């Protein structure tokens, strides 16, 4: 499997594909590499290696394997460390790691790369989770500081601004950084504060609003004159009708087509609010 085109996110760059030989080199961006086998059944989670900033490392060609690499912006590590440890000055510990949580994150990122639509909002959110796990489990503080305050809950005004931003950007959803900026929080604090207010993180929140809007569209169109589901999927930011159907089914227990047919049979009045 050839290497995929790099995916550039606000605070990370992601690579995936069959690794080619590369001589010893180093870079300022810390990275995590997960290695998966392609020459037999996959067993367990992918192995993970941490490469701290400035650490020399080489890449060996592995035609029967696949690698997923996440290069993180140093500023993301500093911000995360400041939030979790009270100091931005930390040093990552490099090498192979036995960390089930980090390996699971690698498997999740790898699986998302295999999908045609590649949900960039989910991948962007996962980079923050990776940074948090690195700082919590694989970093040494180089300075002393005070503990970060507990994340606060988003208030009604912040939720209204966030909701407006997401609805306006369904086709090209905002990044975690953009979502955090509109409510006046750092990207790292957004997730806990949003979850405290809504029960879900940034990716779940966007998905919830997409499904909510889908149900509204399915309800407010007269039976027999509905918008094609393929067009509705693109309007809501899904990459395909199949992606739309899968997400809608996961959240409602039925498909958009079946939901529309059920509404037609029940002859619900136009404008009936969605059920949550």
Average pLDDT over residues 237-242: 86
Residue 49 pairs in a beta bridge with: 33, 96
Position 242 pLDDT exceeds 70:
yes
CA distances from 21 to 127, 167, 208, 262 (A): 26, 45, 43, 56
Query: What confidence tens digit (pLDDT) does each residue in 26-36 have?
Result: 888 899 999 87
CATH superfamily ID and name for 211-266: Homeodomain-like (1.10.10.60)
To the nearest 5 percent, what fractions of the chain are helix, strand and coil?
45, 15, 40
Topology of domain 7-141 in CATH is Jelly Rolls (2.60.120)
Task: Please enumerate in sequence order all residues whose Cβ is within 8 A of that of 203, keeping only pairs 6 or more positions apart, or say none.
Answer: 119, 121, 122, 125
Position 209 pLDDT exceeds 90:
yes
C-alpha span between 176 and 190 (Å, rounded)? 8
Average pLDDT over residues 222-243: 79
C-alpha span between 72 and 77 (Å, rounded)? 7
C-alpha span between 14 and 7 (Å, rounded)? 5
CA distances from 127 to 21, 60, 146, 177 (A): 26, 25, 25, 12
Tokens (6 digits) for 31: 């990275």
Position 43 pLDDT exceeds 50:
yes
Banded pLDDT at 145 (limits 50, 70, 90) = very low
Position 117 pLDDT exceeds 70:
no
- Residue-level pLDDT at 5: 64
Position 254 pLDDT exceeds 70:
yes
Banded pLDDT at 147 (limits 50, 70, 90) = very low
C-alpha span between 203 and 120 (Å, rounded)? 10
Position 63 pLDDT exceeds 90:
no
Average pLDDT over residues 198-205: 90
Banded pLDDT at 61 (limits 50, 70, 90) = low
Banded pLDDT at 11 (limits 50, 70, 90) = confident
Most confidently modeled of 9-23, 84-98, 154-168? 154-168
- Residue-level pLDDT at 269: 53
More confident residue, 111 or 130: 130
What angle do the packed helices 187-198 and 120-137 form, to 10 degrees?
Answer: 110
Average pLDDT over residues 28-50: 78
Q: How much is the mean pLDDT over the chain?
A: 82
Task: Please enumerate in sequence order all residues whose Cβ is within 8 A of that of 127, keeping only pairs 6 or more positions apart, or say none.
Answer: 9, 11, 12, 14, 70, 72, 76
Position 195 pLDDT exceeds 80:
yes
Map out the domains of the chain as residue ranges: 7-141, 156-199, 211-266
- Residue-level pLDDT at 1: 43
Task: Please enumerate in sequence order all residues whose Cβ is within 8 A of that of 174, keeping only pairs 6 or more positions apart, or say none.
Answer: 121, 165, 166, 182
């Amino acid at each position: 499997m050839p290497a995929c085109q790099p995916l550039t996110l606000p605070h990370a760059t992601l690579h995936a594909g069959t690794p080619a030989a590369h001589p010893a080199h180093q870079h300022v961006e810390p990275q995590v590499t997960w290695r998966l086998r392609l020459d037999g059944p996959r067993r367990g989670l992918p192995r993970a290696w941490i490469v701290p900033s400035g650490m020399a490392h080489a890449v060996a060609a592995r035609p029967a394997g696949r690698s997923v690499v996440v290069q993180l912006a140093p500023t993301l590590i500093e911000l995360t460390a400041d939030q979790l440890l009270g100091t931005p000055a930390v040093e990552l510990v490099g090498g192979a790691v036995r960390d089930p949580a980090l390996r699971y994150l690698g498997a999740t990122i790898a699986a998302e790369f295999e999908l045609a639509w590649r949900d960039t909002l989910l991948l962007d959110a996962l980079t923050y989770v990776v940074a948090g796990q690195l700082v919590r489990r694989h970093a040494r503080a180089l300075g002393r500081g005070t503990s970060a305050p507990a994340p606060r809950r988003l208030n009604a005004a912040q939720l209204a601004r966030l909701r407006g931003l997401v609805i306006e950007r369904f086709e090209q959803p905002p990044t975690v950084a953009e979502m955090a900026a509109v409510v006046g929080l750092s990207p790292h604090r957004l997730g806990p504060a949003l979850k405290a207010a809504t029960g879900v993180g940034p990716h779940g929140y966007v998905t919830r609003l997409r499904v909510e809007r889908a149900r509204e569209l399915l309800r407010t169109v007269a039976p027999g004159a509905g918008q094609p589901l393929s067009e509705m999927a693109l309007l809501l930011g899904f990459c395909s009708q199949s992606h739309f159907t899968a997400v809608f089914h996961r959240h409602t227990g039925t498909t958009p087509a079946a939901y529309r047919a059920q509404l037609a049979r029940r002859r619900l009045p136009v404008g009936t609010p969605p059920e949550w």
